[in-house]
């Protein structure tokens, strides 16, 4: 059936890919404007909302093309049903999934109220992956859940409460891994591997190390001029490190928001161009009539 674009909801956690591929849905938009037909998207209707479960690139392609409706296969079900269905989508059609896409789908299935009770083989079959992948993700989730608390609250000598991270207490910096022997064969390239990424990662790693060393020196300087016991100075140093980490997290979130804003601004600009083109075509058609 033809379903209005505005009726379909994409905000229900039913998108199982790690990220959408902008170039792909832009290509779909051009093809749709050229008159190409696409398979219907899959939505779940709970009586009030249509939850998109499969066909996100097609959906955003249609939206970018300025279409009002899209061909859809409507299934009766809840938002949770749409989420479960999405973990098995794109296994054999659409844009090829990356390893990150597969792990995201498996993670979602392991946390879903229904599929969390399934065996590794059942989840693997549903998500279209090898059962060993499910086992690896399950162990990773179990290890994360069993980690000890990484922070504790304490009262300073001034009577105020502060939070101190504890995950590094008693730990020593790991020794660097030994360099591989010259005769060792190179590892097989991963999926979507780009050799130029190695140089970029190395440069970023060097920059990060220098920045971290600079931050450590600044912390030592700040703590060194403080008055108080050694324990209070250690707590203050940890508190400073905690606050700086929070700042880095906020900066990363702001960068993500800016990226999202730029993306939607580009989309809006493209839509305005499309509207102008349609208006010109309409004027020509009226003049020729």
Q: Would you list the DSSP string of 149-192? A: P-EEEEE-TTS-EEEEE-TTTT--PPPPPPPPPTTSPPPPPPTT
CB 131 within 8 A of CB 121: yes
Q: Among residues 24, 49, 28, 50, which one has the least CA distance to residue 39? A: 28
Q: Domains of the chain (ranges plus CATH)? A: 2-146 (3.90.1530.10), 148-168+195-289 (no CATH)
- Return the ∠ at Cα 28 (arms to 27 and 32), rounded to 5°: 120
Residue 261 scores a pLDDT above 90: no
Band (pLDDT 50/70/90 cuts) for residue 234 is confident
- For 230, half-sphere exposure in the C-beta direction (CA atoms, 13 angstrom radius) is 0
State the pTM of this model: 0.51
What are 137-179's pLDDT values in tens digits?
Answer: 999 888 877 665 556 555 555 555 566 665 555 455 555 665 5
Band (pLDDT 50/70/90 cuts) for residue 190 is very low
How far are the Cα atoms of 89, 214, 244 from residue 271, in angstroms, in the given order? 29, 46, 41
Give the separation between CA 126 and CA 278, rounded to whole angstroms: 43
pLDDT at 262: 72
- For 245, half-sphere exposure in the C-beta direction (CA atoms, 13 angstrom radius) is 9
């Amino acid at each position: 059936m033809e379903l209005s674009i505005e009726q379909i909801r994409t905000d229900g956690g039913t998108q199982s890919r790690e990220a959408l591929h902008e170039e792909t849905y832009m290509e779909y938009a051009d093809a749709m404007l050229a008159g190409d037909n696409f398979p219907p998207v899959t939505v779940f209707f709970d009586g009030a909302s249509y939850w998109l479960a499969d066909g996100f690139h097609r959906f955003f392609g249609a939206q970018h093309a300025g279409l009002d409706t899209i061909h859809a296969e409507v299934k009766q079900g809840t938002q949770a049903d749409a989420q479960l269905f999405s973990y098995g989508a794109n296994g054999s059609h659409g844009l090829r999934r990356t390893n990150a896409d597969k792990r995201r789908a498996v993670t979602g299935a392991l946390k879903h109220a229904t599929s969390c009770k399934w065996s590794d083989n059942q989840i693997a079959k549903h998500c279209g992956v090898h059962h060993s992948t499910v086992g690896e993700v399950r162990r990773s989730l179990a290890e994360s859940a069993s980690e000890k608390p990484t922070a504790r609250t304490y009262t300073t000598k001034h009577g105020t409460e502060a939070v101190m991270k504890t995950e590094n207490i008693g730990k020593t910096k790991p020794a660097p891994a030994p360099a591989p022997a010259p005769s060792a064969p190179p590892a097989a390239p991963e999926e979507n591997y780009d050799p130029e990424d190695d140089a970029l990662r190395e440069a970023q790693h060097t920059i990060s190390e220098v920045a971290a060393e600079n931050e450590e020196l600044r912390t030592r300087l700040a703590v060194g001029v403080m008055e108080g016991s050694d324990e209070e100075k250690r707590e203050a140093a940890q508190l400073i490190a905690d606050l700086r980490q929070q700042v880095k997290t906020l900066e990363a979130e702001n960068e993500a928001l800016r990226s999202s804003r730029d993306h939607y601004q580009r989309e809006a600009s493209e839509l305005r161009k499309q509207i102008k083109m349609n208006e010109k075509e309409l004027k020509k058609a009226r003049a020729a009539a």
